[in-house]
Structure 1
């Protein structure tokens, strides 16, 4: 799937901006752990419940979000919001995804402030971190299943993983991956 522009794709659903805001607000309230931890939340809300995008669309949005400044969350919200509800949709979806973080951080700081070392609070964060590892693991499996297709992709993945484990710089890995993919594409055309 190629990323679509917002021309002619905006939803005709009534109150799409409100639906976008509420959907991304829900995701935003449980967006602990960053972009990859929230992929299952995006999948549930945007693919299964709202049916605004497909699994392949989500993978494309994640890939595109990695190439642009900002987090996966804000980039995904802006892109999907713009696609479904034009400029206002992008704006309200983006606000929906960031509002919970602003609210939660403000409340936690105000209420816990200098008490972050309390055992019950540390244990709560320990439990949250354990769940985040599981969510990131699920995201990895999903991304692997949808993003690694064919022997060439598996080989590039394994070489990239080995390179990263040996300490190669991620930018170098990305550049080499692009070159390897280009060369493999050229070879298969012959």
Structure 2
């Protein structure tokens, strides 16, 4: 969801800046604006003195200005906190079977998953990242495949072996995974 919010915020900010910046540039270069536009000509100002002082004496003006600015500040703080929040899972809760729980470091499980995936035939490099909750982790993996590798076989081997071992050793009921496969860049082979 955060990725979508980021794209919408950046898109809207860019669109607004493009429209108003482009209009200021066009009017400054001598293009005659339409009659409904906020500028009337090349030497016009954005806000005249009368426009700046128009609402100052009204009783509702300052509370509305303060409320709008407070909402903007709160939204900006929410966005900043969402950007700084850790996406990577630092630990996984493992049920030890005696009513107690143990904590497994997330980096350790990621390292084991990546190392086991790299040991498969046809996998040049692999990386793993745990996301989700401590009690219900999810895995994001990226695998770089050699030119001779079969993607279906590598994916099957990953789900049966590496993810199966991780799920079993951590006593997890499920370990959903998102796997991205890419091929190693290589020169074309010459056929004679």
In which range does the TM-score fall when normalised by the shorter chain?
Answer: under 0.3
Decide which structure has the larger Cα Rg and report it.
2
Higher relative CO (Cα under 8 Å, sequence separation at least 6) belongs to 1
Greater helix share, 1 or 2? 1
Normalized against structure 2, the TM-score is what? 0.21
Normalized against structure 1, the TM-score is what? 0.21
